[in-house]
Amino acid sequence: MSYSGFRRSCGDEMTRKQRNDATCRQSAEQQRNREGWVQKSPVLPGSGMTTKIIHFTINGRLEKAEFGSSCSAAEVKDLFRAAAEVGPHHILKMYNITGNTVNISPQLEANSVDSHYRLEVVTSDVKGVRMPPELDNMESRLHHLERKVLEDVGKPPEVVCELKSEVESFRRKLESMEHLSWMGLFKEDGDLLLSKLSPKSKTAQLSVEEKHQQVRKKFLNMSSLQVTEEVREHLKTPIFDNWALEGPPIFHQRCDNMMLWNRQWEEAEMLVLLQVMFTDLDFLTDLHIELDVLQNFLFEVYCHYNSIPFHNFRHCFCVTQMMYGLIWMTDLRSKLSKLDLLTMLASALCHDLDHPGYNNIYQINAKTDLALRYNDISPLENHHCAVAFGILSKPECNILKNLTREQYKQIRGAMIKCILATDMARHNEILNKFKTIQPVFKFTNKDHKEVLMKIMVKVSDISNEVRPMAVAEPWLDCLLQEFFNQSDTEKLKGLPVTPFMDRDKVSKPSCQTSFIRFVLLPLFTELIKLFPCLEQHILEPVRHALEYYSEMERATKEEKRTTKA
């Protein structure tokens, strides 16, 4: 879809009526051109003015806006607010291709699809993030209690410290969920939320850019700390809890945000753990990766995942961690080269970069720019891969820069193949290929190895059900959020509705029993033929999950039957 603004020429100013007429003509034209993204004419009829075309993404969706350089700044902002489908109270940020902020103003430079800007909605400038009054009350009473106890005893008892930590953890949880307000978890206004802004909640009001910088700072500060052996070992298993509902401290030393239990891993901590994975696989020493380059690369990867329910940085982390676990559990370190291992880990890390939250079916049906650019052939996976190599093209992020030309060629080719293999439309093709080679599999055979690497990335990508139920089930909720969001949009736009995403047709247990029966079990069964040791780690938990969701399905049906009766 494209967005047109009205334009005024310098020294030839249009009257408000003329401008309104122009807007109307433009809107009508925009309506006529809804299916395509290119306006028929860049020139306003009768105005003699040329326009500026701005390409940008919003939630990963490529869009186009058109306006004249003599538009007012407010008009230009309104135009982008319309594109972002937000009201006047929302703050927008625009970033150029290198990630720097650019001013949203009539001076915004025209660009091409390849150098598109990224538009992000920050937060409402008036509503802000409001914390429940109970939380503020609790904190103030705790503070009072702490002071009193300090006066009487000299040091706060453990129970007060624990309570303080719990309150802080709860506050963080609320803050970390604020960006999900569009999911309807928070009331826009009303009694529940206080109008008073809590000082700490200001962190949630930061722009995306500011938040990224904070994460970077925290990550770099923490990265020099020693991660405990316990966590390092845990990281090699599928029972690693990415939500960290109850986790051990991750560092030997104390640090500012000393691990509060009962909360999600923070982005900075996930970045530290990713760094540990690269270090513990000896990539830095063996492939000559400089630590600061690795840190820049990981940080850029983090910045290029969107805040969407499922295909976000946490998913990227989980997939990479599962790949890391598989490498250790199958002892691939003794069977594959370091370059092959790096291919797999980096592919997992980059496999969903800049995912917009709408799948390939949507891209193709909505004729998005990604579908046009990649001729409907795995548009998303092609995009993820292109973004990955875009990041690697910056020397300060290029973890491959010290490889030989031949090694670079090899890893680039293999990463492209692995990332493109995550398109589920190719699932049967890749699984069948693996089935034919599995009985004669040889690690020395280049083709065999290539198929195995694709399978490993695919397994990691769809491995949520391998994790303990308490970890896996919230992931399914996130996935369904994204699915339903897509099907709702499809309905709104009059596009074909993707059946497995339709909230009127899909239930949590039904979608999961089918996915486990028809996708996970056949794939995992084939992989354990090559690695029998994986049976207990990946096949058994998935069988349990199938029982769990089958039971849920039976109970739901029974409930419906009794309600009807």
Ligand X SMILES: Nc1nc2c(ncn2[C@@H]2O[C@@H]3COP(=O)(O)O[C@H]3[C@H]2O)c(=O)[nH]1
Amino acid 385 reads C
> 311 among the known binding-site residues?
yes
Given the rule CB under 5 A, which of 301-309, 408-416, 454-462, 495-503 is the region that contacts Zn ion? 454-462
- For residue 482, state whether it binds Zn ion (rule: CB under 5 A): no
For the chain, the C-alpha Rg in angstroms (whole number) is 26
> 352 among the known binding-site residues?
yes
Closer to ligand X at the Cβ: 250 or 348?
A: 348
Given the rule CB under 5 A, which of 237-245, 267-275, 445-453, 457-465 is the region that contacts Zn ion? 457-465
Residue nearest to ligand X (CB): 515
**By CB under 5 A, what part of segment 336-355 binds Zn ion?**
352
Within a 10 A sphere around the Cβ of 421, how many other Cβ atoms? 25
- Nearest-10 crossing angle of helices 291-303, 338-350: 30
Indicate the pairing of strand 90-95 with strand 101-102. Answer: antiparallel
* 163 three-state secondary structure: helix
**By CB under 5 A, what part of segment 11-50 binds Zn ion?**
none
Instruction: Give the nearest distance from C-beta 500 to ligand X in angstroms.
Output: 7
Closer to ligand X at the Cβ: 79 or 319?
A: 319
Instruction: Give the nearest distance from C-beta 365 to Zn ion in angstroms.
Output: 21
H runs (alpha helix) in 462-539: 469-493, 508-515, 521-530
> 443 among the known binding-site residues?
no
Structure tokens at 426: 């190719």
**By CB under 5 A, what part of segment 345-404 binds Zn ion?**
352
- For residue 178, state whether it binds Zn ion (rule: CB under 5 A): no
Partner in contact with 326, chosen from Zn ion, ligand X, none, beta carbon below 5 to 8 Å by kind: none
**Distance (Å) of CA 378 to CA 117, 297, 381, 423:** 23, 25, 5, 6
Instruction: Give the nearest distance from C-beta 516 to ligand X in angstroms.
Output: 8
Structure tokens at 130: 């409001």
Closer to ligand X at the Cβ: 47 or 320?
A: 320
Instruction: Give the nearest distance from C-beta 511 to ligand X in angstroms.
Output: 4
Q: Give the torsion sign (CA, 325, 330, 333, 336).
A: negative
Instruction: Give the nearest distance from C-beta 471 to ligand X in angstroms.
Output: 12
Catalytic, 311? Answer yes
Partner in contact with 515, chosen from ligand X, Zn ion, none, beta carbon below 5 to 8 Å by kind: ligand X
Instruction: Give the nearest distance from C-beta 359 to ligand X in angstroms.
Output: 5
490, exposed or middle or buried, with CB in 10 Å at 0-12, 13-18, 19+? buried
Closer to ligand X at the Cβ: 304 or 311?
A: 311
Mask: binding to Zn ion, 413-452, rule CB under 5 A, as x and -?
Answer: ----------------------------------------
- Residue 132 dihedral angles phi and psi, to the nearest 5°: -60, 145
> 313 among the known binding-site residues?
yes
Number of residues in contact with Zn ion under rule CB under 5 A? 2
Distance CA 493, CA 59 (A): 17
What is the maximum alpha-carbon separation in the chain? 83
Partner in contact with 369, chosen from Zn ion, ligand X, none, beta carbon below 5 to 8 Å by kind: none
Of the candidates 274, 327, 326, which has an alpha carbon nearest to the alpha carbon of residue 302?
Answer: 274
Instruction: Give the nearest distance from C-beta 236 to ligand X in angstroms.
Output: 22
- For residue 461, state whether it binds Zn ion (rule: CB under 5 A): yes
Distance CA 378, CA 370 (A): 9
Amino acid 139 reads E
Closer to ligand X at the Cβ: 163 or 421?
A: 421
Distance CA 13, CA 3 (A): 22
Partner in contact with 462, chosen from Zn ion, ligand X, none, beta carbon below 5 to 8 Å by kind: ligand X
Closer to ligand X at the Cβ: 51 or 464?
A: 464
Closer to Zn ion at the Cβ: 123 or 463?
A: 463
Tell me which of 90, 234, 311, 448 is the catalytic residue: 311
Instruction: Give the nearest distance from C-beta 356 to ligand X in angstroms.
Output: 11
Within a 10 A sphere around the Cβ of 116, how many other Cβ atoms? 18
Closer to ligand X at the Cβ: 263 or 311?
A: 311
> 461 among the known binding-site residues?
yes
Of the candidates 237, 326, 323, 228, which has an alpha carbon nearest to the alpha carbon of residue 269?
Answer: 228
Can you name the residues that pair with 121 across neighbouring β-strands? 92
H runs (alpha helix) in 281-404: 283-286, 291-303, 313-329, 338-350, 360-365, 369-373, 379-392
Cα 285 to the center of its chain, rounded Å: 30
Can you name the residues that pair with 3 across neighbouring β-strands? 65
Partner in contact with 296, chosen from Zn ion, ligand X, none, beta carbon below 5 to 8 Å by kind: none
Which strand (E) or helix (H) includes residue 118?
strand 117-124
Of the candidates 60, 47, 64, 185, which has an alpha carbon nearest to the alpha carbon of residue 129?
Answer: 185
Q: Which residues bind ligand X (CB under 6 A)?
A: 311, 359, 422, 424, 461-462, 464-465, 476, 479, 511-512, 515
Active site (catalytic) residues = 311
Q: Which residues are annotated as a binding site?
A: 311-315, 351-352, 461, 512
Where do contacts with Zn ion occur on this chain (CB under 5 A)?
352, 461
Q: Which residues are annotated as a binding site for AMP?
A: 311-315, 352, 461, 512
Q: Which residues are annotated as a binding site for Zn(2+)?
A: 315, 351-352, 461
